[in-house]
Amino acid sequence: MEQRELAYEGKAKKMFATDDPATMLVEYKNSLTAFNAQKKDSLEGKGELNNRISARLFTFLAEEGIPNHFIKILDDTHQLVRRVRILPVEVVVRNITTGTLCKRLGVPEGVTLERPLVEFYLKDDELGDPLITEDHATLFGWANEEQIAKIKHIATSVNAILGRFFDKKGIILVDFKLEFGIDSAGDLLLADEISPDTCRFWDKETKKKLDKDRFRKDLGDVLGAYREIWSRISGEGI
């Protein structure tokens, strides 16, 4: 496999074309942003941790019957994935109230929801990724009805599978964000990343935050939290 031109650079990853039109090379960067990049930093080792965590979680999800874009890990900060056209819809699943849900709707923090809440956001940095309804997504052509139905089904399955997985590691899966793409065959595929950048993880016993909220809220030891997630899910250190 040969690395070709930079196809896209996001806040936390670079995507390169390869000599195989069906695959892309992902480089996980050390940069960390919050609040639509109003807050920025770079943490040496963050890219490697997210590359490894994401690879492990995508592998596990595939084993559990959730197809996704991940193919294989290449080195510390690179992985190979299937090329997809990312839908401009971000899907958030929440089990416990926190974050923008509480800010936006004034509901109390830390309440366990009766059932998982699925939300859609428009993937548009200039607009600050606004919350949208399913009707917005289908009417404006961001995703069709069939895709929305599939996305909801997959997102709640991922929540159940990862919720059980993390529970066994002493971690509460509070909420997370997923992105989906369409591959060359026209099939919907789970894509992007699943890492402490895109999930909220709380220690089951202490409720300590083990994710990007440590950066958003200046709680310190951001990298230590990411390392803790990696060591609990892999049994290995970095």
86 binding ligand TMP? (CB under 6 A): no
User: Binds 214, which of ligand ASP, ligand TMP, none (CB < 5 to 8 A, cut-off by type)?
Assistant: none
| Binding segment (CB under 6 A) for ligand ASP, from list 35-43, 50-58, 67-75, 114-122 | 35-43
Please state the closest distance from residue 210 (CB atom) to ligand ASP, in A.
15
> 155 or 223, CB closer to ligand TMP?
155
| Binding segment (CB under 6 A) for ligand TMP, from list 19-27, 54-62, 147-155, 197-205 | 197-205
Please state the closest distance from residue 207 (CB atom) to ligand TMP, in A.
16
- Find the binder of ligand ASP among 37, 107, 113, 219 (CB under 6 A): 37
Please state the closest distance from residue 149 (CB atom) to ligand ASP, in A.
26
Q: Report the alpha-carbon distance of residue 51 to residue 158 in Å, rounded.
A: 19
b/e map of 218-229 (b: 16 or more CB within 10 Å)? eeeebbebbbbb
99 binding ligand TMP? (CB under 6 A): yes
Please state the closest distance from residue 79 (CB atom) to ligand TMP, in A.
18
- Find the binder of ligand ASP among 35, 168, 185, 205 (CB under 6 A): 35
Q: Report the alpha-carbon distance of residue 85 to residue 19 in Å, rounded.
A: 18
Site residues (CB under 6 A) for ligand ASP?
11, 33-37, 212, 216
